Structure formats: structure tokens, C-alpha cells
Structure 1
Amino acid sequence: MTEMRDSEDRWKLALEAERKYRQLFEQANDGIFLLDATGFLDCNQHGASMYGLNRKDVIGRSPAELCPERQASGQLSADVVAEKIAAAMKGDISRFEWTAMRVDGALLDVEISLSSVEMAGGLCLQAIVRDITERKRMEAALSESEKRYRTLIEWSPEPMGVHRRGVIVYVNPAAVRMLGANSAADLVGKPVLDRVHPDFHEIVLARVRNAIEHDGEAPPIEEKFLKLDGTAIDVEVRNTAIVFDGEPAIQVAMRDVTERNLAQQQLRIAAAAFEAQEGITVTDAAKVIQRVNRTFTEITGYSAEDAVGKTPRILSSGRHDAGFYDEMWECIGRTGTWRGEIWNRRKNGEIYPEWLSVTAVKGNDGAVTHYVGTFADITMRKVVEEEIRNLAFFDPLTRLPNRRLMLDRLRQALTGSARHERHGALLLFDLDDFKTLNDTLGHDVGDQFLVEVASRMEACIREGDTVARLGGDEFVVILQDLDAETAAAMQAESVAVKILAALSQPYQLDLSFAGGDANSRSYHCTASIGITLFRDQSLSVDELLKRADTAMYQAKAAGRNTLRFFDPEMQAVVAIRAALDTDLRTAIREGQFLLYYQPQVDGEGRVTGVEALVRWQHPLRGLVCPTDFIPQTEDNGLILPLGHWVLETACNQLVVWAGQADMAHLTVAVNVSGRQFRQRDFVEQVLAVLRATGANPRRLKLELTESLLLHDMEDIIDKMTALKAEGVSFSLDDFGTGYSSLSYLKRLPLSQLKIDQSFICDVLTDSNDAAIARTVIALGMSLGLAVIAEGVETEGQREFLARLGCFAYQGYLFGRPGAAAGLEGTKP
């Protein structure tokens, strides 16, 4: 009986527990689901409602049916469900966020707590599901708000910072600059009081407490901050309580007022030094003069009695309109100060320039109490400035615009011509035989003549056109606002003819400067004029001047005292050079160059080496000689990549010949241009090519021209010495054509002199050439240098040179330049 009662009691307790669980189950604010691997076993109505379902519609469903196909992570929802259920069945307890889907397809964010429970003797899973959709939306909105906030303060020119619990958590770039930091990392994470002067620690802490307690903005105050280098600066500060990164914090808006305070301090000092060298005026806030100093009286002529009680308008010159003064006072009201140049009137009516500074003086409440104006009479400075301007932009003799001002006006004319679609003309004048006048009568008379020429030319042009003196006897006229091209040419010609006529009238020159017997002399002058037209900015200023110069020389060639228009045919040579330049760049890019080799022989006719000579295999013109393109590569800089290619190709050929017994002894001479040699890293370039190709440096000879020796001899010697130490030898090419100093020649680490072919050509018939050849050979012997003659074409030339002691030759007598294959097998 006792056991039956115990069993009955336990049954009642179990029923009561079940009833309480079911009550909690149904009344819970969260969704509660029971499930196993096959699907949902049960749920409360709140949970079913979250998905827009009734409880009976939930039971039996798979959890994957109440989810979108994929989660935000991109994973398949079914895979994640299976993984989570498997882990929970093993006893894992997990809490995670999840994207669920209502029966109508709407998505909702939920937080799920998943764990295993014992139910009716079996193991199943319990999922407690909380709808966090609204929370997520608020979090996203907060995140977006903070993002906008960060963007605003990040780009704000006003220094901004945020600190929390006494530690800096954010500063914008403007604050980084103000505090002298390199980056925000120098400040973030550091105590905020590190950047506050100790005198202000208590004030700062009190303001922070006040902002937090009242959850608002503390009134602005001026504090003293410390930059990272310890420099103290005055800063106006506003504190505001904000939420930053989800937590309460204090935002600090700052403004560096150090300079403003210094200016105010200087104003007080200025007041102490009232009787200074500058004029000083003190007015009240209504701009009524209260006080002036002695210098004010000296500059303006007004005594203190005259000025006090009046306004500064008594000094007005009338040169400035109301807008000028409105802008000045607006600036003073906004910044507290203004400075600039102004024209005022003295008591006697004389107008004069002054440099004026006006500063607003403010009381403790920030209201303006006075204005202080300090000024200096800058009349003399303006005179000097005008003189400097005249020297900079005008010819001191004729007072015409000089070259600098002319170029500026020509640029303006080009711009105006393009804007208004009107023609213009540039006329370049050169006075014929002016040098004769200068040489016979002297420069003073010549200057007198030039002044008269300038005056006559100015009288021939319209207002708005320009006459300028370039220098010497060259003048320029710029005509603007001309008609269509044909009419413009006629208009320009008409002006030129008018000027020619004016210049051809007799000049009465005062000869007293020249010390002559007569007081004056009549002189006649003619001029040669080159004219070019322009309509837009398609041509540069330099190109226009070149065209006018070309046309002017055509006028001189035509007999002088005439004019010529620029003829496009004059551009033929320029156009050919431009086309050649384009072709050369293509040739380098496409590898159109060849390297030919011309034998160098000894007295027995044995080939001892070769000179590498570049040729251009043009796709249309065929084989082009170096004399037709090398000079232009020097001008346009292409000699550098071309020279490097020649050196590299020659070294590769040396490596090929090193493997052939009958060619291994050959040296290869490579010509090096001055522009190449003057490169700072020339030595490194040569050694790099030798290393890359594996060529023997003792088989490489670099040929330099005498013209190279005219520039920076010490640098040349250093480079030659460095390369010679590596085994590279040097030959001085075209010797005798330049200006070599014997003292330089002795210092150069040369191995060989090469007699230029221009002396060899007529060595048998021209005694001067023979003497030069003899001298070069003797010089080489005296210096211990080998001598080679180039351009040897006849046996007679070779025999003559041999008699003089020269036993190395190069020329057509021994072989023309050709491909490397043509040399192989020649007699060693």
C-alpha cells in the first residue's frame, strides 16, 4: 500500500511539472521548438506565429523549409541546419544568429539557442528562437549614422577628436595636423590629459563630468593644449556628449587660436609703442577717430585737433568705390583684421599710396570696442616698384616693351585670336647696316638713332598693337584683330610698308657725342622685315618667332629694304627632320639597325681589329649612311639607346669571334658620342654590358672624339681610368680636327690616336695635310701612343704613312665596312 501511494504521489508531481512546463512553454516571449533529425516535433504558438504559421503547420516540417536557400554568408541553409543539428545531438550547446523565412517569403533575423534535451525517455533538440529583426535594423541604422558621422568629421577642416574614460579613441586629420602628429596612431589610445597643459587639467575634467551628467554640449572655452613636441598652443574647445562605436563618449571640436591671440598681444604691444614710425589711428566701435599719433600728422598733414571726432573718410582719395570699403570692413568683421594697399588724400589735396593695417580690438565679452589702423606712406616704394617694373618689362633705351613683355603680349594675342577667330600678324624688323653706324659714329649716336626708330614705329601702329625691341637692332610688331587670311596679309603688308616708309626718311643725328666737327649728320636707314600670320594657338610663340626670323632673312637675301611673308616651303627642311625623327624612333623600336665592321690592319696587312659602324636598313629608303641620321640622334637624344645597342651588339660579336681561332685576336672599336659618355652611369653601363655578354674587355676599344675634351676634363679622366682598370682601351678619334691641349692629352689614359681621314685624303698633294699627319705621328710616338690612319684608299697613301712611322691603317684599300660574316676567314 505504501509503495502504491508513493507511486501515485510521483505521478501527481510529474503531472504538475508537465503542466507548469507546458504553461511556461506557451507563455514564453520567445519561440520554442522541439525537433529531432527528422523535423519539428512541437513548438509554442509564439514560435509558429513568427513564421506566419499555426502550430500544426510547423510540426513535421524540416527546419530548412523555414529558411532562404542560402544564408548571408553564402552557405546553403540546409547544409548549415544539418551541421548544427548533428553538433547539438552530440551534446554541443550553441547560440547563433540566423536568417529565417516566413511562410509569405519575408525574411527575418533571429537568434537561436540550440541544445539537446531528454523527452519521454528519448533525446531531442530544443531551439529557443528570438526575433531580432528590429534590433538588427536599429544596429544597421546606428552603424550607418556613425559612418556618416565619421565621414563628416574625417573631412572636416575643423580639428575633431573623441575620448572615452579619459583615453583618446579617435582624431580626424585636421586634429593630427594641429597637434603636430604624423598620424592618428600617435594619439589614439593615449590619455587625453597628455595633450592638455597641466594648468587646465582640472578644468577639462570638470567640463567632461558636466557634459556627461547633462548629456549635452558644454559651452566653448579657451584652453591650452600641448603638441607632440611639447609646444603649447591656445585652443578654443567645445565638448559634446555623444555615442561613439556604441558607447558613450565625449566629442571635442577644436580651433587653434594661437595666432589670433598673438595678433591681439601684438596689438597691445603696438598700443604701448603708439608713437612709432608708422601712422596710427584709433577709432571707437562707430569708427569715430579717438586718437592719432605724431606720424599720422606728418604723413597726412592733419593735426590731432583736425582728426579727432571725425571719421577716416576725411582721408578718402575717391579712387576706391563703395564696394572696396564694404569688402574691407566685411573682412575686419569676419577675421578681426585687414591689411592692404590703399590710396588716401593728404590735407593739402595730394593723393598718396599707403600700406594700411586695421585691427578690431575686442573686450572680454567679444564685442568690438575699438579699431586700430596703422599705416605707412609707400610713395617711394611705389616709385621703386615702377622702376623695377620698367627694368623688367621695358627696354631702358627706347622705353618699348622688351623681349619678356613682348612674349607675354604675343601669348595674349594668340589666345585672343583663337577666342575671337580673328587673324593676327607678327612682324620682325632688322635694321640694315646698323652695325656700320655704331662702328663709325659710336654707340651714343647709335642709341640716339634707335630711340628715333622706336618713335617712328610707334607712330605707325594702332592703339592695342605692340612695338617691342628684342635687342640690338631687332624690333617686333604684333598686330591684332585682323580680317580673314588674305585681307590680314594685306593689312600686315600695309603696316609694314608704312613703317618702311617712315624709317626711310632722313635722320638728323647729333654728332656732338661722337666728337665730330659737324654738329649733326643726315642718315638714311632701311630695314628687312619678316612677317608671319596667326589665327589660333596651333603654333607656339617660339615657332612664330622662328617663322618670322626665317622670313626676315629671306628679305635680307632678296636685297634688303623689303619684306617677306613666311613661306611654308621654308619649312621643308624642318619637315624632313621631323619625319626623320619619327622614322628613327620607329627604327629603334623595331630593330632596323645593322652593325657593319671595317677592318683595321697592321703594316703587314694583317687584320688586327675592326671598327663597328652602324647602318640603318630603312624599309623604304634602303641602307642609310650614318652621316644622314647620326647628327639628328645626337640632337633628339636617340643616340643613347642607339649607342647602347651598338655596344651590346659589338660585345656579342666579340664573344662569337672568341670561339673562332682565326678571329679570337680581333679587337672591336666602338664609337661613343659625347652625350653617351657624359651620362653619370656610363662606366656602370659599359661594365654591365660586358658582364651580360661575357665579352673580354681587353678586346673592346672605345673611340672618343676630340670635341668631348672641351667639357669637364676631370670627369672624363675619371671615367676612362675606371674602364681602363677593367681592361677597356681608348682611341682618340678624328684626331687633329679639334682643339686638344697637349697637357690634357698627356693626362688621358689613351692607347691610340686616330688620324682623321680628312687629312689622309690629300696627304700626297697638300703640304698642310702632310705636315699635320707627320705631327700627329710624331706626337703619338712621343707620348707612347699607337697611331692609326683612317681613310687610307691608295697604296701611295699607305707607303707615305709608313715612311712617317705609321703602321696601322683603316680604309677602302683594305676593305669596306660589311657584315661580320664577310670578315670571317680573313688573313690574321
Structure 2
Amino acid sequence: MRTVNCYDTFRRKVAVYLADVQHHMSFGQRVFAAVVLSFAMAETIVSAMGLLLIGRITPDYLITGGVASIIVATLIVAGVLQLEKKTHRFSAEMKKSEQRLNFALGVAKMGVWELDLNSRRAYLSPDIYRILGIACISTDLADFKRLIHDQDAGLVFTALDKALAEQTPYVAEYRVCLPDGRTCWIEDRGEFQLDEATGKPLRVIGTLWDITARKLAEEELRLAALVYQNSNEAMTVTDTDNRIIAINPAFSEMTGYSAEEVIGRTPKILSSGGQDSEFFRAMWRSLNATGKWQGEIWNRRKNGEKYVEWLTINTIYAEDGSVHRRVALFSDITKRKEADTLIWTQANYDLLTGLPNRRLFIDRLEQEIKKAQRDNAGIALLFIALDKFKEVNCNDPQSKTHEPAISASANPD
């Protein structure tokens, strides 16, 4: 008698069910499939009982098939539950990863974009809209082009076309005009995705990064470098060990030393010996306490000539509060000091005799009187008169009448 395999239907339905699971069915779909499987099992058991009654199968075959069906069903249910657990955990991890990525892109002021080279339409991530300060724009590339600064639009698309022709990474820096009137600097980077069959580029996937802060910092550095290089004041930068690490051209012009001669050495190379150790101790006390010092100091040029400079020192601190750099600015005030001395001399001394004039005499006399009053002491004043000195001096200015005055001041006895 031909034996009928009454479990064919069940196996076929199990196979369909497993195939659906492998195609990542949703949870609702998997529940529905499990219900269908239960009905299939019930149908199989009923069919087997009918075949047993009419003698088409034996009881042993029925028992064996039933046990096998129960085992298979149990394994399938366990597999469904395990798959559901893994799928849920995977979805949660993917969501967390996406949140972390979006957070990182937001902090970095960076967005992601994709350009279809055939349709010339672009996908922009929400971060890009936030960077550009707009709610939404068309996916048409021409609409995005209108946001680019007029002076930079040609540069952007020239760089894109060149990268496309050479199939090299695309990089461009350009400005965009924001709705509020501000200008934002953007850095674009992209990679081409090729058609596996033809090798032709299909799309560009890249990032858009707001680099406005970096551009402003670079501009400040360029400006500082221009000031540093073109300043009339000499400048030195020293490290934490007070060793020179940089100078500007005005330093070489003023002192005669080149960068190669002073880099790595201390500012003592300029010392003239005109200040004592107490002067420098006071300077360092001020630097350590306040981070700055300024004043006059005598220094020496490379050729040995002494000069007076007005020196200002400021300290740059590291994040932990320690000294990072010290910047010194100084200018040669020798001629100004000489001019000041000349003016003061002319105002207080007689040009012919070189003796103190009336103005200086009264000033010194007032000082001595105040000192005597403060010390409760006396003061002596000696008046020397030269007979007919004024009469001779006025009638004959070219005479040597000043010589007796000089002699008298030097030898009052």
C-alpha cells in the first residue's frame, strides 16, 4: 500500500514562514505568520487522524509525525522570539548611533549631503538647513547655487567639475549669504560613488562644514603677523625659560642682531650693565605678580653702542595658569631722551656760562627751604656780586665777561 506523506503541506508552510522571517518581517507580520503556522499544524494533525481512521497511515507514523511537528513548531517559536529580541536590540542600538551621529554633526556644525549627478538634484541633511539658517530649499542644485556668494559660485562648480573629470575627491571653501545678511564660510568635501558596471560616477556624497570661526581666527592671525612683521617697535617672544624663540625685523634693525644670532639665547645678550641687580629683581617681581612690566632700560647694540629703550613686557598664560610666553616690545628713545635733556638744560642753565639760571636757582632754593622746614633745620644762602658785570656784559656782549662769573661760581673764596 502506498504511504501518503501527510506532512507535506505543513513543511511547505513552514518553509514559507522561514523565508518571510529571513526577509525581516515586522513584528505584526511575524505574529500573523505564527498564527498561520498554528492553523497549519492543527490542519496537519486533523488530516493525519483522518488518514489513520481510513487506514492510509499507521499509528506509529502518526505519533512520529506529531512529535516532529511539535518539535519543529517549538523551534520556530523560539527562533521568532530570539529574532524579535535581537531585532529590537539592533534597532535600539541603531537609534542611539544615529542620535550620537546627529549630536556630533550638530556640535561640529557639519551636515551631510548627496548629489545625484544625473538629475542634478541634492539631498541635504537637517543640519545643513540649520547651518544655512533656512527652513527648506528645493533639492534642485540651481536653488542652492543662489545662496553662494557671487564671487565664489564659479570657484565651487569649477572645483566640482574638475573633481568629476579626474575622479578625485572634491574639496571647496566658499561663502554663502545667510537670510539675516551675515556671510558664512563653508567647507565642502565629497567622494564620488561609481557605477559598478560602467565605472562612471553616479552620485557625490559629502559633508558641509561651517568654518566661519576658523576663517575669522585665520584672518586675525594674518593681521597679527602683518603687525608683528611691519611694526616699528622691536619685538621678542620668549619661552618659559626666558629664551628667545622669535623676533621681528625691527629688532634686527634696532639691535644689529639677526634671528640666527639670538634665537635660543636670553635677552641678556643686549645687557649694557647700566642697571644693577636690584633693578632686575624688581622687574621680575612685577612680572611674576602682575604678568607685566614697563619702563626705561639701557641696552647695548651688537656694535657696542649703548642706547635707551622704552620696554613693555606682557605675559601669555597657558590654560592651567602657568607662564606660556612673554612678549616684549621696545623702542629706541635715545634721541628723545637727548632732546629732552637739551630742552631741560636750555630752560635751566645759562647758555654762555653753563651756570644754573634764575629759574633753576629759585626751584632749588624752594626745595632746600621745604627740606629745612621739614627737618626743622636752618639754611644758608650766599650772594656774590660782581661789580659792573651787568653794565659791561650789556655794552659788549662779545667780551669774555662770563669767565669771571664762571670762576667766581667755581671758587667762591
Scaled by the length of structure 1, what TM-score is found? 0.27
Question: Does 1 or 2 have the higher relative contact order (CA < 8 Å, sep 6+)?
Answer: 2
Q: Which has the higher strand share?
A: 1
More helix by share: 2
Q: When the two structures are superposed, what TM-score results if normalisation uses the length of structure 2?
A: 0.47
